[in-house]
Amino acid sequence: MTQPFSVKSVTWREWLGLAAGLLALGSTFLPWTTLDANKPDIEDILSQLPHGDVARDAWNSSFFAWCPPLLLLLAGLVVVVFGRIRTMRVSGLPHLWLVVAAASLLLVALGWFTLDWEFDADQRGIFDVAGIAINPGFGRFLGSLAALVSGVVAFMDVRAMRAETRQSRKREPRSKSR
């Protein structure tokens, strides 16, 4: 018999996983990629352009910007909703969460390395000549932090699940084999 969902039964690790997913989702609406210049005349031109041309949120950036936050949010929701079901935990829900968090971290890291790929070669050439730098925005830092927090907490949840299964094995009486 399954127990009804209870908010009180959700562990702090699971709540933190959901919070990391929500933080990651919130970070998608902040700038993930910004353009910056160290020449005053170019900086004035950039300031006159529409904000969306100078600062891109995750939805207007690359796959490596919007996919990891969605994965983290999905993992956080699944862990909070199904985390108290013993069969789900024993079947590997914490491990699945850890894999999703690690994949999100990998995608975020790839996003940092491919930051300038959001612009084509002609645009990057113009940016180089004009002295315009392509920089990560605050949203990218926040999304990376959320992925890191989710990964650490997922690892802690895997360890906690192992401890739970060890304790339940100690309590079960051993049957005599013939």
Q: What average pLDDT does the segment 34-38 reach?
A: 90
Task: Please report which confidence band the pLDDT of residue 78 belongs to, taking 50, 70 and 90 as the band edges.
Answer: very high
Measured distance CA(37)–CA(43) in Å, rounded: 5
> Which tokens hold the place of 161?
């699940």
Q: What average pLDDT does the segment 113-142 reach?
A: 92
DSSP state for residue 135 in the 8-state scheme: E
Using CB atoms within 10 Å of the CB of residue 137, give its burial: 0 to 12 exposed, 13 to 18 middle, 19+ buried: buried
